[in-house]
């Protein structure tokens, strides 16, 4: 008798669904060529996986520039505005401080507050913005179920195409991948 | 160091000589310089102020172009000390501008001759009005100033000439020895040149107001030097490319890196300018605040606000994007903008002083109590009027003339040579350089 979760708890654990196809390529150059072809075939929900950064891969895949810089700009600007507003309210209005004949609302000392606040909020936005855009933290990914995929940290070059992609079909996508030089193709279940 | 035999196709070295552009541009810029200086001298003479107005204009233009030349030298020292790869393609252009330090040394002679028109510390009666100033006399006197100037230019000019000669030698022999010599020399020269440039800042910026103390002023000057070169270098390269030279060799990748440096130094300028201001603001000591009082209040305050906007805020945002730095036209625009801001900076530092010690020579020794005595209260209300008494056309003509001489000299330095160090072992890498 099978002992996997779905038979032990029928109806509780979902049937494994198809996540997508994983194709292995023999080297970085093959991966680059294949990426350009997958892109040309019109797929949108797919990714490349390699043990090291392959120069030119972003261009071959047609990865769009990230919006992260704009988020960081927003974070930095709100840091400046927030810090200046706080300092203006505290020292200029709520509790005016007499300090060596300086004006209550003097810009120079408040720059010291605004500047680190800008850096702090900019840095925090860039870290958490990156995590949010990348879908992190994520402790599990369907691709991890593939034994073959473990090679990706060492010498494996892969392309995965999600079943969610509108152009996806097990048969045609598989044939396309084989046609562009995949050495092995695997169906990944989630 | 192992020699990697590299193959650079002859195609990659196309259009790397000035050829016909050189003599024409040389004649044009030299002609412009002569006409501009003749006009400036005429207008200066008509001011009837013993050529003081002309001398201030000349002095400001000299500082502006000294910044570019000294910055080019520092750029080269950084390049060689770190054995940089990406900047090999612009190395020769920087060499030509750094060699202009020799020109700047020659152009310094009128300043040494007209010292009494520029520096109030040359007046003994003025220096004896204050105990603080008397103590500075051992440093601020005409003889020692001249000696210091000679030392500055022997050191900086010597470095520039050495780099140029070694670089020429490498072009001829293709040996690695000159490159190694430049590397060894740059390691210690980085430190020496840094200190020399700082001292130039003390003598030419800080001493313009002899009462002033500021620890930050020398590094502020060093920042001016570095901002200038990273604005001037892409502009020079872009101008050559417009004339069909180095079109294939300097790519947007090189402009991108130059642009990054330009942005970094522009922001650093703001950082240092603020450091200096805030320390003086906090301490609130009369011998320090006087300098700022004369420059941020009243009519000159308008200029200070404009400077903050055009030197920091506007180009800071303008250069922030990667796309701005990678687009030659956009980057060139910002380089021109920042060079203009650099001159405005020099102007803001130097020009007010002319009216603080006016009329020098006649009533030397009297510091006017009202720093804005030269302008009526009514004129303050109009933005353009405060700058009127400066006779700005003389300053601009001097700037144009000095610029003509600078460009002519740079082109003269580049005559008959490849505009790329063709035998540099890292040239092939630099040509193929890409930002990932």
Number of domains in chain A: 2
pLDDT of residue B62: 96
Residue A45 within any structural domain of the chain = yes
Residue A2 within any structural domain of the chain = no
Residue A98 within any structural domain of the chain = yes
Please list every residue in chain A whose beta carbon sits closer than 8 Å to the beta carbon of residue B284. 100-101
Looking at the fold, whether A113 and A144 belong to one and the same domain comes out as no
Looking at the fold, whether A56 and A146 belong to one and the same domain comes out as yes
Cα angle value A53/A55/A57 (rounded, 5°)? 90
Query: Could you say which of A134, A163, A181 is where a domain stops?
Result: A134
pLDDT of residue B365: 34
- CB of B434 within 8 Å of a chain A CB? The answer is yes
What's the whole-model pTM score? 0.85
Residue whose C-alpha is closest to residue B100's, from B135, B127, B64, B133: B64
Looking at the fold, whether A150 and A58 belong to one and the same domain comes out as yes
Please list every residue in chain A whose beta carbon sits closer than 8 Å to the beta carbon of residue B436. 53, 55
pLDDT at B250 over 70: yes
Q: Residue B357's pLDDT band (boundaries 50, 70, 90)?
A: low
Q: Which residue of chain B is at minimal alpha-carbon distance from A108?
A: B278
Question: Residue B22 in contact with residue B417, Cβ under 8 Å?
Answer: no
Residue A85 within any structural domain of the chain = yes
CA A35 to chain CA mean position, Å: 18
What are B330-347's pLDDT values in tens digits? 999 999 999 999 999 999
Q: Which residue of chain A is at minimal alpha-carbon distance from B322?
A: A69
Question: Residue B197 in contact with residue B217, Cβ under 8 Å?
Answer: no
- CB of B323 within 8 Å of a chain A CB? The answer is no
Looking at the fold, whether A53 and A145 belong to one and the same domain comes out as yes
Instruction: Return the residue matching tokens 């009526």.
Output: B376
Looking at the fold, whether A74 and A26 belong to one and the same domain comes out as no
Looking at the fold, whether A120 and A157 belong to one and the same domain comes out as no
Looking at the fold, whether A125 and A146 belong to one and the same domain comes out as no
Conformational region of residue B254, where left means phi above 0, alpha means psi within -120 to 50, and beta covers everything else: alpha
> Is the Cβ pair B278, A55 closer than 8 Å?
no
What is the rounded distance in angstroms from the CA atom of residue B19 to the CA atom of residue B25? 11
Question: Residue B209 in contact with residue B353, Cβ under 8 Å?
Answer: yes
Please list every residue in chain B whose beta carbon sits closer than 8 Å to the beta carbon of residue A100. 284
Residue A159 within any structural domain of the chain = yes
Residue whose C-alpha is closest to residue B103's, from B418, B422, B435, B409: B409
Q: What is the mean pLDDT of residues B419-432?
A: 84
pLDDT of residue A7: 67
Residue A8 within any structural domain of the chain = no
pLDDT of residue B371: 40
Min Cα distance A31 → chain B (Å) is 18
Residue whose C-alpha is closest to residue A158's, from A189, A179, A190, A181: A181
Looking at the fold, whether A73 and A128 belong to one and the same domain comes out as yes
> Is the Cβ pair A109, B434 closer than 8 Å?
no
pLDDT of residue B106: 95
Contacts made by residues B45-51, CB under 8 angstroms, sequence distance 24+ = B47/B391, B47/B394, B49/B359, B50/B117, B50/B361, B51/B114, B51/B117
- Tokens representing B94 are 């920087």
- CB of B281 within 8 Å of a chain A CB? The answer is yes
Q: How many residues does chain B have?
A: 436
> Is the Cβ pair B436, A111 closer than 8 Å?
no
CA B200 to chain CA mean position, Å: 12
Looking at the fold, whether A150 and A180 belong to one and the same domain comes out as yes
Domain range enclosing A51 = 16-62+140-189
Q: What is the mean pLDDT of residues B153-163?
A: 94
pLDDT of residue A188: 84
Please list every residue in chain B whose beta carbon sits closer than 8 Å to the beta carbon of residue A53. 436
What are B122-145's pLDDT values in tens digits? 888 888 888 888 998 999 999 999
* Window from B335-339, B354-358, B418-422 with minimum mean pLDDT: B354-358
pLDDT of residue B370: 41
Mean pLDDT in chain B?
85
Query: Could you say which of A116, A134, A152 is where a domain stops?
Result: A134
Looking at the fold, whether A145 and A130 belong to one and the same domain comes out as no
What are B64-78's pLDDT values in tens digits? 999 999 999 999 999
Mutation for testing the A interface, residue in B267, B282, B296, B304 having most A CBs under 10 Å: B282
> Is the Cβ pair B282, A53 closer than 8 Å?
no
Burial of B191 (0-12, 13-18, 19+ CB in 10 A): exposed
Query: Closest partner residue to B278 among A55, A100, A108, by Cβ?
Result: A108
pLDDT at B361 over 50: no
Please list every residue in chain A whose beta carbon sits closer than 8 Å to the beta carbon of residue B304. none
Query: Could you say which of A118, A134, A150 is where a domain stops?
Result: A134
Pick B173 or B363 by higher pLDDT: B173
pLDDT of residue B369: 39
What is the rounded distance in angstroms from the CA atom of residue B287 to the CA atom of residue B300? 19
Q: What percent of chain B has pLDDT over 90?
A: 50
Pick A42 or B109 by higher pLDDT: B109
Beta bridge mates, A158: A24, A49
pLDDT of residue B6: 54
Q: What is the mean pLDDT of residues B236-264?
A: 90
Q: Which residue of chain A is at minimal alpha-carbon distance from B275?
A: A108
Residues of B (127-166) whose Cβ lies below 8 Å from A: none
Q: What's A143's DSSP letter?
A: G
Residue A167 within any structural domain of the chain = yes
Looking at the fold, whether A115 and A145 belong to one and the same domain comes out as no
Looking at the fold, whether A149 and A164 belong to one and the same domain comes out as yes
| Highest-pLDDT range among B65-69, B81-85, B276-280 | B65-69
- CB of B274 within 8 Å of a chain A CB? The answer is yes
Q: Residue B356's pLDDT band (boundaries 50, 70, 90)?
A: low
Residue A3 within any structural domain of the chain = no
What are A39-59's pLDDT values in tens digits? 888 888 888 889 988 888 888
What is the rounded distance in angstroms from the CA atom of residue B363 to the CA atom of residue B354? 13
- Output the tens digit of pLDDT for each of chain A's 190 residues: 456 666 666 666 667 788 888 888 888 888 888 888 888 888 888 888 899 888 888 888 888 888 999 999 999 999 999 999 998 888 888 888 777 778 877 788 888 899 999 999 999 999 999 999 988 888 888 888 888 888 888 888 988 888 888 888 878 888 888 888 888 888 888 7
Pick B252 or B379 by higher pLDDT: B252
């Amino acid at each position: 008798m099978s002992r996997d979760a779905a038979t032990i708890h029928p109806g509780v654990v979902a049937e494994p669904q198809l996540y997508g196809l994983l194709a292995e390529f023999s080297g970085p150059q093959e991966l680059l060529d294949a990426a350009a072809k997958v892109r040309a075939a019109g797929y949108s929900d797919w990714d490349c996986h390699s043990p090291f950064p392959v120069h030119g891969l972003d261009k071959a895949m047609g990865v769009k520039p990230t919006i992260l810089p704009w988020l960081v700009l927003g974070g930095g600007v709100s840091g400046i505005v927030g810090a200046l507003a706080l300092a203006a309210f505290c020292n200029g209005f709520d509790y005016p401080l007499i300090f060596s004949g300086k004006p209550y609302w003097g810009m120079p000392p408040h720059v010291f507050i605004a500047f680190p606040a800008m850096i702090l909020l900019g840095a925090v936005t860039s870290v958490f913005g990156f995590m949010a855009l990348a879908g992190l933290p994520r402790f599990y990914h369907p691709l991890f179920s593939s034994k073959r995929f473990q090679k990706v940290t060492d010498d494996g070059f892969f392309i995965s195409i999600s079943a969610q992609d509108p152009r996806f079909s097990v048969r045609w996508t598989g044939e396309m991948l084989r046609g562009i030089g995949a050495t092995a193709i695997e169906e990944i279940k989630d | 160091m192992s020699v990697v035999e590299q193959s650079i196709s002859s195609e990659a070295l196309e259009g790397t000589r000035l050829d016909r552009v050189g003599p024409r541009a040389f004649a044009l810029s030299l002609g412009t310089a002569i006409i501009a200086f003749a006009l400036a001298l005429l207008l200066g003479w008509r001011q009837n102020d013993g050529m003081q107005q002309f001398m201030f204009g000349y002095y400001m233009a000299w500082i502006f172009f000294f910044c570019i030349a000294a910055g080019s030298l520092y750029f080269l020292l950084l390049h060689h000390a770190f054995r940089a790869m990406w900047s090999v393609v612009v190395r020769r252009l920087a060499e030509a501008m750094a060699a202009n330090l020799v020109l700047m040394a020659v152009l310094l002679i009128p300043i040494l001759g007209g010292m009494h028109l520029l520096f109030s510390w040359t007046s003994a009666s003025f220096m004896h009005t204050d105990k603080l100033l008397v103590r500075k006399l051992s440093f601020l006197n005409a003889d020692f100033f001249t000696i210091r100037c000679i030392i500055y230019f022997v050191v900086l000019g010597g470095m520039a000439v050495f780099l140029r000669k070694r670089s020429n030698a490498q072009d001829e022999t293709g040996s690695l020895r000159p490159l190694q010599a430049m590397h060894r020399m740059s390691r210690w020269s980085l430190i020496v040149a840094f200190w020399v440039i700082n001292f130039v800042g003390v003598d030419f910026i800080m001493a313009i107001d002899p009462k002033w103390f500021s620890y930050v002023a020398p590094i502020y000057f060093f920042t001016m030097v570095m901002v200038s070169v990273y604005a001037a270098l892409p502009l020079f390269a872009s101008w050559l490319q417009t004339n069909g030279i180095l079109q294939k060799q300097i790519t947007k990748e090189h402009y991108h890196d130059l642009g990054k440096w330009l942005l970094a130094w522009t922001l650093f300028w703001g950082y240092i300018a603020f450091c200096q201001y805030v320390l003086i603001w906090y301490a609130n000591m009369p011998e320090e605040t006087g300098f700022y009082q004369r420059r941020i209040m009243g009519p000159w305050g308008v200029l200070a606000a404009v400077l903050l906007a055009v030197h920091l805020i506007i180009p800071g945002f303008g250069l922030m994007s990667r796309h701005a730095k990678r687009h030659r036209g956009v980057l060139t625009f910002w380089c021109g903008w920042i060079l203009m801001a650099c001159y405005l900076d020099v102007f803001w530092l130097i020009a007010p002083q002319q009216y603080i010690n006016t009329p020098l020579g006649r009533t030397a020794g009297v510091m006017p109590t009202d720093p804005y005595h030269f302008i009526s209260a009514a004129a303050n209300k109009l933005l353009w009027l405060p700058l009127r008494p400066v006779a700005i056309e003389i300053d601009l003509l001097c700037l144009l003339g000095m610029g003509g001489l600078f460009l002519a000299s740079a082109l003269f330095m580049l005559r008959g040579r490849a505009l790329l160090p063709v035998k540099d072992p890292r040239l092939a890498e630099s040509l193929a350089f890409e930002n990932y």
